[in-house]
Chains A and B, each alone.
Chain A
Amino acid sequence: MKLTIISKKTNLWLATAMMLLMATALYGQSATAVKYFTRNASASFFSEAPLEKIEASTTSASSVIDMATGNVEVAVLIKSFNFKKALMQEHFNENYLESTKFPKAVFKGRMPEFKSINLTIDGKHTAVLKGDITIHGITKPLETKVLIRSEGGKIFAETEFELIVADFNISIPSVVRDNIAKMVKVKLKAEFMELKKT
């Protein structure tokens, strides 16, 4: 009887010690688990068809990189895209992307080899980014290569990929179909800052 009590006690001690150990381990990890953030990433897209060249950009895309999990998120407001031609911007928002109904485009994904990347020291990396992109209410898988450069505590990232317009249920009237390219090249460029929790 006594023995069991002692063993229970030691068990309790052991459990506490284990918990403490785990807590320190977790704490240690969270100290290095850095998140990077930007609210001024630039996003632009470009398409070229025989008759029309379409180009637009915004500088208010936001993005978060979590180096503890390798998770990456990018969001952009459709209405914030600026076109040279006002009419194009109007058609883009009202007819094609229906930005009142779908105000945002979002990418959620992760960098599978994030563990081999250390952003706390200066250097250049190429990472694969895998995830899903949602535009116009339609979600499609996306894989792209990202160039990441860390320099003096700042993180610069850049990527480029192509999207097929038809994938996102964007209907283009047949009259102008040939004037609008089927593929759109998208470019993202961002300068990240360390996110400090207060």
Chain B
Amino acid sequence: MPVHWKIKSQEMKSKLFLAAALILLLGGFIGYKMWNKPHMDISAAESFISLSAVDLVQAFKEDETSANTRFLNKVITVSGKIAAVNKEHNQTILHLETEDPMALVICNLDPFSTHEKTDFVSGETVQVKGVCSGMLTDVVIDRCVIIK
């Protein structure tokens, strides 16, 4: 085989090697980025629906399955009157009043966000945005941020 062919194939080889290395590096970078993907920014997330704590609990009580399909894992805005504030486990948890004292709306303030306000009193009216996790005895909203 002529000499210049050999040179060409060598050139090709090194080019191929470089391309492969680049792809690997890029892949690794994307993989790393995906692996370290941050949690959704709740404050910036768009709320799918805005409703009162009373209506939210009512929807779950009427038909849990359909309420699950409507609200589960969605960013929602809920407003209500604080029934109690709980500061267990280094977290701020707000209980919002409904018509049923046994079925409240529980708002767990987002552990990944910084909150301007962390002190609340019972009777205060708040509006929070968070992700609906479903209903046990109460409807649970996680990763809450206070709107007002």
Contact (A86, B40) CB under 8 Å given A79-B142, A103-B68, A104-B134: yes
Could you tell me if A40 and B86 are in contact, using CB atoms closer than 8 angstroms?
yes
Residues of B within 8 A of A191 (CB): 88
Could you tell me if B93 and A79 are in contact, using CB atoms closer than 8 angstroms?
no
Per DSSP, chain A at the interface is strand
Q: How far is the CA of A40 from the CA of B136 in the complex (A)?
A: 11
Q: How far is the CA of A77 from the CA of B137 in the complex (A)?
A: 11
Stretch with Cβ within 8 A of A (4 or more), from B11-19, B43-51, B101-109, B119-127 = B101-109
Contact (A86, B72) CB under 8 Å given A77-B140, A104-B134: no
- A116 CB-CB contact with B under 8 Å: no
Query: Could you give, for residues 3-41 of chain B, a 1 whenever the CB lies within 8 Å of some chain A CB and a 0 otherwise?
Result: 000000000000000000000000000000011111110
Query: Could you give, for residues 44-60 of chain A, a 1 whenever the CB lies within 8 Å of some chain B CB and a 0 otherwise?
Result: 00000000000000111
Among residues of A, the one whose C-beta sits closest to the C-beta of B39 is A86
Among residues of A, the one whose C-beta sits closest to the C-beta of B101 is A198
Could you tell me if A62 and B138 are in contact, using CB atoms closer than 8 angstroms?
yes
Could you tell me if B89 and A42 are in contact, using CB atoms closer than 8 angstroms?
yes
- A150 CB-CB contact with B under 8 Å: no
- A1 CB-CB contact with B under 8 Å: no
Residues of B within 8 A of A77 (CB): 133-134, 136, 140
Could you tell me if B133 and A59 are in contact, using CB atoms closer than 8 angstroms?
no
Could you tell me if A79 and B134 are in contact, using CB atoms closer than 8 angstroms?
yes
Contact (A42, B88) CB under 8 Å given A75-B136, A79-B133, A87-B35: yes
Contact (A39, B106) CB under 8 Å given A87-B34, A87-B35, A103-B72: yes
- A80 CB-CB contact with B under 8 Å: yes
Could you tell me if A60 and B140 are in contact, using CB atoms closer than 8 angstroms?
yes
> Which interface class (under 10, 10 to 19, 20 to 34, 35 or more) fits B?
20 to 34
- B73 CB-CB contact with A under 8 Å: yes
- A115 CB-CB contact with B under 8 Å: no
- A85 CB-CB contact with B under 8 Å: yes
- The smallest C-beta distance from A105 to any residue of chain B, in angstroms, reads 10
Contact (A100, B72) CB under 8 Å given A40-B86, A82-B142: yes
Q: How far is the CA of A86 from the CA of B41 in the complex (A)?
A: 11
Query: Could you give, for residues 106-148 of chain B, a 1 whenever the CB lies within 8 Å of some chain A CB and a 0 otherwise?
Result: 1010011000000000000000000101101110101100000
Q: How far is the CA of A119 from the CA of B104 in the complex (A)?
A: 26
Could you tell me if B138 and A86 are in contact, using CB atoms closer than 8 angstroms?
no
Query: Could you give, for residues 71-104 of chain A, a 1 whenever the CB lies within 8 Å of some chain B CB and a 0 otherwise?
Result: 0000111011010011101000100000110011
- The smallest C-beta distance from B91 to any residue of chain A, in angstroms, reads 5
What are 24 contact pairs spanning A and B, CB under 8 A? A39-B95, A39-B137, A40-B106, A60-B108, A60-B133, A60-B136, A60-B142, A61-B136, A62-B136, A62-B137, A77-B133, A80-B133, A80-B142, A82-B142, A85-B35, A85-B37, A93-B73, A100-B72, A100-B73, A103-B72, A103-B134, A104-B134, A189-B89, A191-B88
A residues with CB within 8 A of B:
39-40, 42, 58-62, 75-77, 79-80, 82, 85-87, 89, 93, 99-100, 103-104, 189, 191, 198
